[in-house]
């Protein structure tokens, strides 16, 4: 709107020029150079602050005076410092990205901050994955070398022992010992189903082992198998059938209790693992959410402000 003054001029109050603070206006776009620069700054600041925290934590260790904080205190302090370091790094990185992008739009600045946040976490995940892979590879190589050395040493010892045995024992004696062991096993297995009193101790133990294995695998024994086991126990340990039956029942009860305890232990371990996984997942989610907020706040702070200049036109 133009108005005439006494000097014969017109003031155009509606004419205005809008410019971003410190630079000419740029079209709204994504500047990946600014995002990468912000991510590099965020990672560098995070690493620098983490190194500072490690140095401060190391100064608290005083083994001579026995004044070192507990492991739980160390863990809590390290986690808190790690979180704060990452948040500061992301906030500064978001600020750098938004400032270097030249945008004067808050939405564009926010998106640049989120891009810095995502890029930083992806780079951190890749670096962490490579670190874990390197540690695992080193541990595997070390274990393989150790096992190879042990196997080589064991082979040398076995070779030396075999050589000494070959020097001290004739071939005929070794064949006789092998045949004796074979005959003993065959005799134990051939006695299955016979009179327990007429069987040898090896035969009774072999059949008892078969019945016990059947009880473990099948979960229960038939009445005939249970009576057979009672007879074998009575003959093997020279006790009455009643005592044998009580002993078998007691052993079965103990085995059942042991199985239940093992199952409960396994369930508790599974619950503990599930709880730990849940806590870790929620912790990662919370850390990433706080990181996103910090990056966005830094980017909003780094977004250029709009400056309005009003011009006056004088008309004669």
**155 inside domain:** no
Asked, for residue 169, whether it belongs to a domain, the answer is no
Q: Are both 20 and 114 inside the same structural domain? A: yes
275 versus 156: the higher-pLDDT residue is 275
Q: How many domains in the chain?
A: 2
**151 in a structural domain:** no
Task: Tell me which of 22-36, 209-223, 229-243 is least confident.
Answer: 22-36
Average pLDDT of span 301-311:
73
Same domain, 188 and 96: no
Question: 150 in a domain, yes or no?
Answer: no
Whether pLDDT at 28 is above 60:
no
**Whole domain around residue 248: which residue ranges?**
184-272
**Average pLDDT for the chain:** 74
As a whole number of angstroms, the distance between CA 20 and CA 35 comes to 20
Beta strands 306-310 and 2-4 are unpaired
How large is the average pLDDT for residues 279-302?
Answer: 91
Which among 92, 91, 86, 75 has a CA at the least distance from the CA of 50?
Answer: 86
Higher-scoring residue by pLDDT: 5, 77: 77
- Do 218 and 112 share a structural domain? no
Say if residue 189's pLDDT is above 60. no
For residues 247-276, give the mean pLDDT. 85
Round to whole Å and give the CA distance between 188 and 230.
18
Residue 295 lies in a domain: yes
Contact 58, 19 (CB under 8 A): no
Q: What whole-number distance in Å separates Cα of residue 316 and Cα of residue 313? A: 10
Please indicate, yes or no, whether residues 8 and 113 belong to a single structural domain of this protein.
yes
Per the domain annotation, does 139 fall within a domain?
no
Q: Looking at the structure, tell me whether residues 6 and 120 fall in a common domain.
A: yes
In a domain, 95, yes or no: yes
31 token code pair: 């500047």
Q: Is the model's pLDDT at 72 over the cut of 80?
A: no
Residues 104 and 207 in one domain: no
Same domain, 304 and 220: no
- Is 298 a domain residue? yes
Which stretch, 9-13, 39-43, 194-198, has highest mean pLDDT? Answer: 39-43
Question: In terms of domains, do 20 and 50 share one?
Answer: yes
8 Å CB contact between 302 and 109: yes
Say yes or no: 214 and 268 in one domain.
yes
Q: Are residues 202 and 244 in the same domain?
A: yes
Domain check: are 268 and 291 in the same one?
A: no
Average pLDDT over residues 240-254: 83
Co-location of 92 and 61 in the same domain:
yes
């Amino acid at each position: 709107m133009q108005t005439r003054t006494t000097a014969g001029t017109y003031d155009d109050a509606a004419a205005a020029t809008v410019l971003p603070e410190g630079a000419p206006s740029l079209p709204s776009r994504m500047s990946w150079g600014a995002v990468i620069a912000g991510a590099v700054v965020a990672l560098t600041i995070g690493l620098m602050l983490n190194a500072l925290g490690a140095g401060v934590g190391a100064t608290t260790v005083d083994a001579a005076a026995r004044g070192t904080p507990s492991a739980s205190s160390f863990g809590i302090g390290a986690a808190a410092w790690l979180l704060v370091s990452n948040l500061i790094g992301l906030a500064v990185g978001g600020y750098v990205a938004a400032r270097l992008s030249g945008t004067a739009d808050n939405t564009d600045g926010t998106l640049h901050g989120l891009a810095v946040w995502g890029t930083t976490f992806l780079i951190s995940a890749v670096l962490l994955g490579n670190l874990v892979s390197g540690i695992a590879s080193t541990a595997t190589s070390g274990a393989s070398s150790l096992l190879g050395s042990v196997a080589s040493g064991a082979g040398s010892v076995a070779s030396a022992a075999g050589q000494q045995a070959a020097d001290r024992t004739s071939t005929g004696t070794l064949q006789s010992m092998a045949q004796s062991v074979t005959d003993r096993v065959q005799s134990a297995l051939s006695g299955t189903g016979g009179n327990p009193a007429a069987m040898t101790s090896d035969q009774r133990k072999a059949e008892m082992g078969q019945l016990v294995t059947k009880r473990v695998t099948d979960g229960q024994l038939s009445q005939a198998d249970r009576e057979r086991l009672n007879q074998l126990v009575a003959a093997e340990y020279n006790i009455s059938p009643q005592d044998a039956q009580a002993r078998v029942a007691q052993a079965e009860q103990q085995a059942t209790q042991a199985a239940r305890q093992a199952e409960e232990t396994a369930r508790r371990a599974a619950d503990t693992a599930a709880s730990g996984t849940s806590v870790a997942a929620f912790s990662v989610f919370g850390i990433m959410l706080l990181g996103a907020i910090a990056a966005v706040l830094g980017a909003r702070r780094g977004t250029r402000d709009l400056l309005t200049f009003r011009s006056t036109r004088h008309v004669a």
